Chains A and B, each alone.
Chain A
């Protein structure tokens, strides 16, 4: 009897909090997404699918597809940079490795508004790149680099890169290095060893990295807001706009729920296949 009460006392306060302040609000926007919009914000309970239909309009759907495109390009680019970095770092001697890991952590923990903003100094009309190029004489007038889809891509890759390095690094690190020696002893060359041992065993880390880069990128609105222009708006900008400016809450909710469904599918797939290995812990 006593064990029962302890069992419940431990779990109730935190999960009651999460049920009321996390699950319930998401159910609330689910309800709002089917409700009828009123002018000046607000909603009237009801059942309509018009907000979802509106979301699949050409204009918004195009922005949604563009966001998915950015999320994919960011994931691919970060993976291409992060995997070699993680691989290189994990084979260093332990004191060098420790220092390099701290170097990865510093940008990871730096306020991401700052990390995004730092590119304004570099890509701006009067920024570093234009100054250098003009000084050297390669160009006569400044290039338009800021507020383009190029600058958005750079900003996204920049802010997400550490999220890809860390889980891959952790999974290569966990790998039993004697397997690599065994493979070499048995006559495999480096490429064969990489293909048959290192890559498959580091795959859970790669998947974790993909999830942790793809999903936040999908919901981004700060990077396109600071570094992008009208043609690089992402779905996060539309949501922000609907909630804070246009105040069409049901429409904003419908977009949020659509993204939430996509995220849930990815997450359930991930937890089913990789969740038991506790990969999320690699971040903390």
Chain B
């Protein structure tokens, strides 16, 4: 009897079909990435033929000047985007957390919209806006576009950190005579710093990964890595893309472990 009771309680999520679907699902997610990594070490130019192990595509990749120019642009944009969106996103989160605004719901709607609206619409509308203002398309226009979609993500992450934060700490500091500025830097800021860091990492990753918005807001000579990869895909230069992709996947994995390390919190 007790055997049966235990079995009933522990039996959820144990079906063979569930396990099989999960395994097939993960294979589906990973096989293309693994194949791509494997081909990046293929000496042969054509994917159909295995020409032995080689790192020549990696060497070619490191010697590609245009690629490195694109990487430099990507990093500059990524860093600028991270700094500005951290500041703006944190301000919005603090405001929305502390105060009840007259148009609070509308503010939340505006904040959520850039996350949901398809990137292509964000891209074309900013393109038209920059053309109207006669702003030349380049690093500045791409950075502005990236900040526009990054703010929302930073705000939502910092807001969720603020929700976990015990507000009485701030009140206690005020009672003990700290001014608003001191309360922020000594109490609030250290407590929400993990959220700000995670938001910043997310903003940085999204910026270096973005293709669609960048594609519409970049001009001649302001290529980013994604746009460069796209042009290589269109020209069919496959082995070198495999090498770049493998490197990027490795960096992504490192970043994910970084984010999850920062965000990991005790099980609740």
A interface residues, Cβ below 8 angstroms from B: 6-7, 9-11, 13-15, 17-19, 21-26, 28-29, 32, 81-82, 84-85, 87-92, 94, 102-107, 109-115, 117-122, 124, 126-128, 130-131, 158, 161-162, 165, 177, 180-181, 184-185, 190, 193, 211-212, 215-216, 218-219, 221-222, 226, 236, 239-240, 243-244, 249, 252-253, 256, 259-260, 263, 267, 271, 275, 278, 280-281, 284
Contact = CB atoms under 8 A, between A and B. Distances in A.
Given A84-B21, A109-B205, A119 B99 contact: no
A23 B110 contact: yes
A14 B88 CA distance: 5
Interface centre among B22, B33, B151, B238 (most CB of A within 10 A): B22
Contact of A219 (B29, B98, B121): B121
A58 to B, nearest CB: 23
Nearest to B109: A271
Contacts of B121: 26, 29, 219, 256, 259-260, 263
Contacts of A81: 21, 24-25, 28
Interface stretch (B53-61, B62-70, B249-257): B249-257
Interface string B80-107: 0000000111011011101101000001
A10 B200 CA distance: 18
Nearest to B145: A21
Contacts of A275: 108, 112
A26 B87 CA distance: 24
B125 interface: yes
B13 A87 contact: yes
Contacts of A130: 48
B128 to A, nearest CB: 5
Contacts of B120: 219, 221, 236, 239-240, 256
The CB with the most chain A CB atoms within 10 A, among B48, B160, B260, is that of: B48
Given A113-B230, A114-B249, A239-B124, A127 B147 contact: no
A94 B267 contact: yes
Given A11-B96, A28-B132, A121-B238, A88 B18 contact: yes
A250 B112 CA distance: 27
B127 A92 contact: no
A267 B29 CA distance: 28
Given A29-B124, A110-B248, A184-B9, 7 more contacts: A14-B155, A84-B21, A110-B33, A112-B211, A158-B28, A260-B121, A280-B116
Contacts of B110: 15, 18-19, 22-23
Contacts of A221: 120, 212
A84 B256 CA distance: 24
B128 A29 contact: yes
B142 to A, nearest CB: 13
Contacts of B127: 243
A168 to B, nearest CB: 12
A111 B214 CA distance: 13
Contacts of B242: 121
B114 A18 contact: yes
B117 A11 contact: no
B128 A28 contact: yes
A31 to B, nearest CB: 9
CB-CB nearest 3 A-B residue pairs: A91-B13, A219-B118, A10-B95
Nearest to A130: B48
A88 B98 contact: no
A131 B116 contact: no
Contacts of B229: 111, 113-114, 117
B186 interface: no
Contact of B29 (A10, A24, A107, A216): A107
B119 A216 contact: yes
Most buried by B among A22, A106, A211: A22
Interface string B132-156: 1000000000001101100101011
28 contacts: A7-B95, A7-B99, A10-B95, A10-B98, A11-B92, A11-B96, A17-B147, A29-B125, A88-B22, A102-B256, A106-B249, A109-B209, A109-B252, A110-B33, A111-B209, A112-B211, A114-B245, A115-B32, A117-B229, A117-B245, A126-B47, A211-B116, A212-B116, A215-B117, A216-B119, A219-B120, A263-B117, A263-B118
